[in-house]
Amino acid sequence: MNQPIQLDRYRQAAPQLYEVLREQIVTLALKPGDVLSRVDLARQFGVSQTPVRDALMKLEQEGLVDVYPQAATHVSKIDLRAARQAQFLRRAVELELVHQHASDKNLQVIQGLNETLTELDSCLSRQDVTGFMAADRRFHHVLYEHADMLEVWSLLRARSGHIDRLRHLHLPAKGKMQQIIHDHQRIAKAISAGYPQQAQEALRMHLTGTLANAEQIRQDNPDYF
């Protein structure tokens, strides 16, 4: 039996359960089609079924689980249509953000981006795919944080589960992590140099890679789609 996962008893359980389960889903620790039992999850986390139900309902709203009343809850399959729509929204927002930051040459943004580049290099050297994905998210989070757009970040994150899983499947591909670092370096360099159009072009190229390979990823992992 799995050991109970310790939650912070001074915080509400449902949001913590949601974060843990969401991370397990987007990193494919919980795979598409896996069954999620309220009883088993309540036992694993050491809580009642109520916060488990609330967490699963939020994940259902994000399209990450399929809830069948009086039956079972499954991790949803990856929906390429949802992935494309989420990426479209993200690209539209981040093109504006990198333009703004390159125009402003904000030193805090440049420092934050460079710090995440160091993290990415470290994860690459360890072949830490999950850590690499988290550092990649932090790179983009910097763009929103220093534009006072964290609510927009949260809105987009709630729609990103399918594209995040697609990206996680793509990361182990030969040269993919190196390409991401290269793309991030180009974005950071353009922002640091104060070249808005170059920053936008680097970002546009960066956000096309995974979807351009979506069909091959699906063929390689048919049970996930």
Contacts of residue 93, Cβ cutoff 8 Å, sequence gap at least 6: 149, 152, 156
| Tokens matching residue 94 | 């981040």
So what's the pLDDT on residue 193? 96
So what's the pLDDT on residue 162? 97
So what's the pLDDT on residue 3? 52
Q: What is the mean pLDDT of residues 207-220?
A: 93
Among all chains, which residue has been given the structure tokens 């799995």? 2
Give residue-wise pLDDT tens across range 100-149.
999 998 899 999 999 999 999 999 999 998 899 999 999 999 999 999 99
So what's the pLDDT on residue 188? 97
pLDDT band at 212 (very low <50, low <70, confident <90, very high): very high
Q: How many residues make up the chain in this entry? A: 225
Give residue-wise pLDDT tens across range 183-202.
999 999 999 999 999 999 99
Q: What residue ranges define each of the domains in the chain, with the CATH number in brackets?
A: 13-75 (1.10.10.10), 80-224 (1.20.120.530)
**What percentage of the chain has pLDDT greater than the value 70?**
98
Q: What is the mean pLDDT of residues 149-153?
A: 97
Alpha-carbon distance of 66 to 51, in angstroms, equals 17
First to last CA, the chain: 29
* Residue 1 confidence (pLDDT) above 50: no
Give residue-wise pLDDT tens across range 77-94.
999 999 999 999 999 999
pLDDT band at 17 (very low <50, low <70, confident <90, very high): very high
Q: Are 207 and 91 in contact (CB under 8 A)?
A: yes
* Residue 221 confidence (pLDDT) above 50: yes
